[in-house]
Amino acid sequence: MKIFTITASCIIALASCQMKAQEAAKGASSVGSSDEPIHYPSEKYFTNVKQLTYGGNNAEAYWSFDGKKLIFQSDNRNWNLGCDQIFMLDISAKPDSNKLQMISTGKGRTTCSWFMPDNKSILYASTHLGGDSCPPVPDMGRRYVWQLYPSYDIFTADLKGNIKKQLTSEYRYDAEATVSPKGDKIIFTSLRSGDLELYTMNLDGTDVKQITSELGYDGGACFSSDGTKIVWRASRPATDEESQAYVDLLNQDMVEPNNLEIWVANADGTDAHQVTNLGKANWAPTFTPDGKKIIFCSNYKSERGFPFNLYLINLDGTGLEQLTYDDQFDSFPMFSPDGKKFVWCSNRHNGRTRDTNVFIADWKNN
């Protein structure tokens, strides 16, 4: 989550749908094959695009505080994984398809990993206390839902995979945690109140505070580079019928993430306001290094739910600009701490498979 999770579990569901080739693929430059683009000409903010993972669904790649490593989740079938686990990637290493260093326990399902300020430990959510096996994925027919596993809790671990501390212990879903660049606070999503709300806490799990309270899904939050603001995805049921349908799913520990918009607020939750009003699914937001704009993922242009691409927008909702042009999926953006490099996850350049991989580029201000 920056998501669930709109996480790898989401990507698996997205990748399983039928893809329709888009005109955006025409004229694209490529590496290795003329019909498998790695960088589209319209992606003017990117230079030196490189692929960092190969195979499986690799999602939510987020930087260490020193800018030397990435932490991400993967269900790479060649690594004998039943569901998402957490791995570390050294960006100075040569990319290959070999199994990387796993930092999670290898049990249960994991999501939403983030480096702690010391660069020697990580934060992530896991269901491993609820059982060693992967919890089941819900089958709702053609209705797309996420399972909010009650056994998800948030943990810290060292870089060898040893659990250091359990930060949450409430029954019901606790996940989608990120750390402020100031190194003082964690923000996360919890169902403990009966609704999906945002909470903050200290790095040791103390001083938990609820900072949202409107009915609807609040999740996938992250801080601005100076730690003064937050950005997140939110749903707001507009009618009594929509509200009841939302609550009915929550009572089954599920949510339907099909109508999400981007919101911003001060770090304590005050002055919360909606940024986008695009319809469909707008999610995985992050601030630009200067804190003046937001990059987020959206399918608002799509007629059949696809493609998802990245967009740039001002904090007041003006100046919407498309950043990526893959014909399937681009999401999970994040800048390096120095603002010079940009990481995201994409279905591009995957040999016409359903794999989602991590990509890195130099960021070019225009």
Overall average pLDDT of the 278-304 stretch: 95
**Cα–Cα distance between 311 and 356 in angstroms, integer?**
19
Structure letter (DSSP) for residue 356: B
Say yes or no to pLDDT of 139 above 80: no
Instruction: Dump pLDDT digits (tens) for 55-113.
Output: 889 999 999 999 999 999 999 988 989 899 999 999 988 877 778 899 999 999 999 99
Instruction: Dump pLDDT digits (tens) for 42-55.
Output: 999 999 999 999 88
Q: What band does 2 get if pLDDT is binned at 50, 70 and 90? A: very low
pLDDT at 35: 65
- % of the chain exceeding 70 in pLDDT: 89
pLDDT at 9: 37
Say yes or no to pLDDT of 18 above 90: no
Give yes or no for a contact between 77 and 56, defined as CB atoms under 8 angstroms apart: yes
**Cα–Cα distance between 287 and 298 in angstroms, integer?**
15
Say yes or no to pLDDT of 6 above 60: no
Range with lowest mean pLDDT among 1-15, 218-232, 260-274: 1-15
pLDDT at 193: 97
- % of the chain exceeding 90 in pLDDT: 78
Q: What band does 10 get if pLDDT is binned at 50, 70 and 90? A: very low
Half-sphere exposure in the Cβ direction for 62 (13 Å, CA): 30
Domain ranges within the chain, ordered by starting residue: 8-20+52-296
357-363 β-sheet, strand order: 46-51, 357-363, 341-346, 330-335
Overall average pLDDT of the 210-236 stretch: 98
Say yes or no to pLDDT of 16 above 70: no
Instruction: Dump pLDDT digits (tens) for 225-248.
Output: 999 999 999 999 999 999 999 999
Q: Phi, psi at residue 24, to the nearest 5°?
A: -60, -25
Say yes or no to pLDDT of 343 above 70: yes
Could you check whether the bond before residue 337 is cis, i.e. omega within 30 degrees of 0?
A: no
Contacts (Cβ under 8 Å, ≥6 apart) of 45:
312, 323, 342, 363, 364, 365, 366
- CATH class, domain 8-20+52-296, is mainly beta
Question: What mean pLDDT, rounded, does the chain reach?
Answer: 89
Half-sphere exposure in the Cβ direction for 302 (13 Å, CA): 23
Give yes or no for a contact between 364 and 312, defined as CB atoms under 8 angstroms apart: no
Give pTM, 2 decimals.
0.90
pLDDT at 351: 82
By C-alpha distance, which of 113, 64, 117 is closest to 84? Answer: 113
